[in-house]
Structure 1
Amino acid sequence: MAEIGKINILSVVRETENGVYLDGENLGEILMPRKFVTDEVKASEQATVFIYSDSEDRLVATTENPLAMVGEFAFLKVIETNRFGAFLDWGLPKDLLVPMSEQKAKMTEGKTYLVHVFLDEKTNRIAASAKIDKFLDNVPPGYVPGEKVDLLIAEETEIGYKAIVNKQHWGILYKNQVFRPLSPGEKLEGFINKIRDDDKIDLLLEKPGYGKIDPISEKLLETLRENNGFLALNDKTSPEIIQSLLGISKKNFKKAVGNLYKKKRIEFKSDGIKLIG
């Protein structure tokens, strides 16, 4: 079954001056404009296309991929606003509309917003919504600790980073467990740390129990962050200076440095150690 707002592999039905018509199955025949028709399409009689409505609300097929498809979340930039809503640049000739009813607050031209792309089943039009919460946490989280998940960083808060988990749930990455800056819109892999009694999800960037930082190494990391990511300490530093600065023995200092170096958290400089990230 062909789907609007998704990638489909469709068979060529016939060729015209305007392009080729593809078998959209349940959607009927769909035009793929001539500029997308390659020799490979003609030879295989199939095309991998994205289906959406053009400016005249006709279904068309394109080999261009949008920045986000139906069911996905993305940060997109507003390029125009009018009485109907805000229009977003999503990488296709026809801009993506966020109706006024789907805006949390009135959107501003030139700004970037987190939106969810959805299909209006009544009109078969693709639109976007900035009311993210209504598309998340609609089913209980069925994850298990240690499970790998896909994350989209949504925003930074006082306690950490809010992230969208597998396009279905909200989760949180706590600042004391994140060892590099994260940016809204960043996509990365993470792991489930635990599901709390209220079904809230705690996340990690490393698999629980794997590469765990011991307390002494954690203390060294914290001291590095407090000193702009650099400490003028190395193997030649006296035990007294290490004890005074870190409150640990030189032996434990060397163990912590070795541990963090193996985990690629620090790098060695001629005059000390530097935090990575």
Structure 2
Amino acid sequence: MAEIGRFNNLRVIKQLDFGVYLDGGEGEEILLPKRFVPKGVKDGDEIEVFLYHDSENRIIATTQKPKAIVDEIAMMEVVDTSKHGAFLDWGLMKDLFVPLSQQELRMQPGQYHLVRLYLDEQTGRIAATARISRFLSNHDLTVKENDSVELLVYQKTDIGYKVIINNKHLGVLHYNEVFRDLEIGDKEKGFIKTIREDNKIDVSLGERGYSRVEGEAEKILRLLKENDGYLPYHDKSDPEDIYDFFGMSKKTFKMTIGALYKQKQIELTQTGIKLLEE
């Protein structure tokens, strides 16, 4: 059975002038309008589509990619309002509805809000809520230390950024782990750094440990080759200068050049790092 509000791989069962019909399961046929039909599609082919309801409450398919699917949280712009609620731009032709009862503050056109998508139990349609805190809990964790995770910047605090982890949990990204500006709603890849006894979570950006260093090592070697084998950065360089040039924290930079030095790929000088000839 095809799922509303999610991506589905559905089989083409009929082709018409205005689009193709897809097998939605249990005898249901779902229209994919002509403008979204990939070229060269034949009967029996499978197409990945997103399913939602059109303005006439019919299930419709699209190959467009929405900014979020059901159970996901994302930042979206308010494009219109009515006495019943607000409408958000979520990347599809039909705007996403937020009922008045699901708004923490009355939404206005031009504003941006973090919302969570859900299926309305009465209508079966996709809707959104700005009341997302009730969906976030660290009581039963689905992550462990060193796990790679998806992060969404949620709030700024005195110690760092409060982030949503995998659309389920809350964590903190401390300011000393960040070397560039982040905005509420930004999506980042990161990893679980520490889980404390009270299930509070500290996270970092990027990848964990030496898998992270290996990726950064390739970057440093490439930059050395692009700059005649020498770069004027070392372990006493300013952290912001390192981040501006390499896109990594000073801690990661020091770990990486240390690994490259042990591998005898670079030489450390008083003024920078030098690429050793192979």
Q: State if a TM-score over 0.5 links the two structures.
A: yes
1:56-95 paired onto structure 2 within 5 Å: 56-95=56-95
Which residue pairs with 1:204 in the alignment?
Answer: 204
Residue 138 of structure 1 deviates from its aligned partner by 6.9
Contact kept? 2:138, 2:170, Cα under 8 Å:
no
Residue 179 of structure 1 deviates from its aligned partner by 2.8
Contact kept? 1:145, 1:208, Cα under 8 Å:
no
Which residue pairs with 1:54 in the alignment?
Answer: 54
Which residue pairs with 1:145 in the alignment?
Answer: 145
Give the Cα–Cα distance (whole angstroms) in 2 for the partners of residues 27 and 76 of structure 1. 35
Name stretches of at least 5 consecutive residues in structure 2 with no aligned partner: 214-234, 242-250, 259-270, 273-278
Residue 40 of structure 1 deviates from its aligned partner by 2.6
Identity over aligned pairs, percent? 45
Residue 143 of structure 1 deviates from its aligned partner by 2.5
- State the SS of the aligned residue for 1:134: helix
The number of aligned residues is 229
Residue 220 of structure 1 deviates from its aligned partner by 6.1
Amino acid at match of 1:259: K
Give the Cα–Cα distance (whole angstroms) in 2 for the partners of residues 206 and 31 of structure 1. 40
Which residue pairs with 1:173 in the alignment?
Answer: 173
Structure 1 segments of 4 or more deviating over 6 A?
Answer: none
Which residue pairs with 1:111 in the alignment?
Answer: 111
Shift of the 54–139 alpha-carbon distance from structure 1 to 2, 3 Å rule, reads farther
Give the Cα–Cα distance (whole angstroms) in 2 for the partners of residues 105 and 208 of structure 1. 38
Shift of the 207–19 alpha-carbon distance from structure 1 to 2, 3 Å rule, reads closer
Contact kept? 1:2, 1:27, Cα under 8 Å:
no
Q: Does 1:163 align with 2:163?
A: yes
Which residue pairs with 1:194 in the alignment?
Answer: 194
Contact kept? 2:14, 2:43, Cα under 8 Å:
no
Give the Cα–Cα distance (whole angstroms) in 1 for the partners of residues 59 and 165 of structure 2. 31
Q: Does 1:7 align with 2:2?
A: no
Residue 63 of structure 1 deviates from its aligned partner by 1.2
Q: Does 1:29 align with 2:29?
A: yes
Contact kept? 2:148, 2:208, Cα under 8 Å:
no
RMSD: 2.9
Name stretches of at least 5 consecutive residues in structure 1 with no aligned partner: 213-218, 231-255, 264-271
Amino acid at match of 1:13: I
Residue 260 of structure 1 deviates from its aligned partner by 7.9
Give the Cα–Cα distance (whole angstroms) in 2 for the partners of residues 112 and 27 of structure 1. 40
TM-score by length of 1: 0.73
Give the Cα–Cα distance (whole angstroms) in 2 for the partners of residues 182 and 27 of structure 1. 48
Shift of the 43–24 alpha-carbon distance from structure 1 to 2, 3 Å rule, reads closer
Residue 207 of structure 1 deviates from its aligned partner by 5.8
Residue 156 of structure 1 deviates from its aligned partner by 1.8
Which residue pairs with 1:259 in the alignment?
Answer: 254
TM-score by length of 2: 0.73
